[in-house]
C-alpha cells in the first residue's frame, strides 16, 4: 500500500505557482520522498526527490518539513503542459532492503492548469 496521502485533484492558473502537498507521516529514516508525474497516455516522468533538505532542479522545487512527515512539490510557473497526475512516493533506496527500491504508486493528485 502507498504510504502517502495526496489531495485527489487541484487547479492552478497558467503562470502561477502550483503547490502540491503530500503527507507521509509514517516515513522512516531510509526512505526518500520522490515525485513523478504522468501526462495522459505517457509513462511516468521523474521530477525530483529528496531526503530531508529542500531540493530544486530545472523542473521543480521540493520542500520537506523538518519532521519529514510532509512535503510540497512546487512548480514555480505552471504551464498547460504541466497538466498531469502527480505522484508522491516514499521509497527505500537501501539496496539490501526487501522492497528492492521499487516505487509504490498511490492515486496521486490530478493537477489541471487552466488558461
Partner 1 sequence: GAGVSQSPSNKVTEKGKDVELRCDPISGHTALYWYRQSLGQGLEFLIYFQGNSAPDKSGLPSDRFSAERTGGSVSTLTIQRTQQEDSAVYLCASSLWTGIENTIYFGEGSWLTVV
Beta strands in 14-52 (DSSP E): 18-23, 31-38, 45-50
**Cα–Cα distance measured from residue 19 to residue 16, given in angstroms and rounded to the nearest whole number:** 10
Q: Which of 51, 63, 93, 110 binds partner 1 (CB under 8 A)?
A: 93
- Restricted to residues 17-46, the positions that interact with partner 1 (CB under 8 A) are 42-46
**Cα–Cα distance measured from residue 47 to residue 87, given in angstroms and rounded to the nearest whole number:** 10
Q: Which sign does the torsion angle of CA 103, 54, 40, 106 carry?
A: positive
Q: Which of 19, 23, 30, 104 binds partner 1 (CB under 8 A)?
A: 104
Closest contact distance (angstroms) between CB of 104 and partner 1 is 7
DSSP 76: T
Binding of residue 107 to partner 1 (CB under 8 A): yes
Q: Which of 54, 79, 101, 114 binds partner 1 (CB under 8 A)?
A: 101
Binding of residue 108 to partner 1 (CB under 8 A): yes
Amino acid at each position: 500500500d502507498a504510504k502517502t496521502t495526496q489531495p485527489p485533484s487541484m487547479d492552478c492558473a497558467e503562470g502561477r505557482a502550483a503547490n502540491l502537498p503530500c503527507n507521509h507521516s509514517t516515513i522512516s529514516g531510509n526512505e526518500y520522498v520522490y515525485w513523478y508525474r504522468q501526462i495522459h497516455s505517457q509513462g511516468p516522468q521523474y521530477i525530483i526527490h529528496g531526503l530531508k533538505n529542500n531540493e530544486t532542479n530545472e523542473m521543480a522545487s521540493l520542500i520537506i518539513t523538518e519532521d519529514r512527515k510532509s512535503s510540497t512539490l512546487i512548480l514555480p510557473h505552471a504551464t498547460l503542459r504541466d497538466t498531469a497526475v502527480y505522484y508522491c512516493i516514499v521509497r527505500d533506496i537501501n539496496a539490501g532492503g526487501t522492497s528492492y527500491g521499487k516505487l509504490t504508486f498511490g492515486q496521486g493528485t490530478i493537477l489541471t492548469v487552466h488558461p
